[in-house]
Chain A
């Protein structure tokens, strides 16, 4: 039983990771390389990444009774919505529209698989898998934002916004690690 639960947790985390990392690996097309995106594509991908975690949170609030999971999910709703609102406000100020791109699509594709897998779980199995997925997701998103998006984005205001967003996501990563530890095996 323990092994099965562990398998669930690591499996969903791996799905989340694979969705993003595969998009950025050298074997994929250049269009899917996060470091090759233009500013408007980066804005789109960052928004999609935040929106995915908002949807993760809605799923957790619908399926979990664990107070730690629910508190974390509520925080993700609040924080990611605030970051995405700031992104939309900046784009409106710049008179720019975010551009959909293969990287954003790969993020969504991976997320849909994760949502389907999580939705089949309940109780402790769900809590553990949600927590593990949140940790893996934030670790990977932080790597992409910090190593690919911020160094390559050209607009100074968008770069500044991504820096603030990264600080937010790094705090989430720490919080997710604490949640994983608290929920345990």
Chain B
């Protein structure tokens, strides 16, 4: 009987755990996107970073991908990160281990700007 209850309880906790993992993976847990679990993609498209501004958790990784014909970079204005030159369809993952607001530009096309806010 106890075993049955424990068994029932185990099944219940398992379901909760599964649900929590699903929610975390889909970024829906308690209304907060868990950027450690959800891939974050910033496109370089038509001479703009899309999205131009994002908020992520410390430790998350952002992937920049260039969809334009010409080379671009994502280069932090405080020199904290730099994707280097990304040609068409090339991508680069950048990790953000510490909180802060990280503004960046394309070194070739300085009117392209963005910011990653890390909490």
Give A contacts to B, CB under 8 Å. Answer: 75, 78-79, 82-83, 86, 161, 164-165, 167-168, 170-171, 174-175
Contacts and interface: CB of A to CB of B under 8 A. Distances in A.
A167 B72 CA distance: 14
B15 interface: no
B69 A171 contact: no
B111 A164 contact: no
B111 A83 contact: no
A122 B46 CA distance: 35
B16 interface: no
B108 interface: yes
Nearest to A86: B69
Interface string B44-68: 0011000000000000000000001
Contact of A86 (B46, B88, B108): B88
Interface residues of B, number: 11
Given A78-B71, A79-B70, A82-B70, A171 B111 contact: yes
Contact of B46 (A79, A167, A174, A175): A167
Nearest to B67: A164
A170 B112 CA distance: 13
Contacts of A78: 70-71, 108
Contact of A75 (B46, B68, B87, B108): B108
Interface string B92-119: 0000000000000000110100000000
Contact of A164 (B69, B71, B108, B109): B69
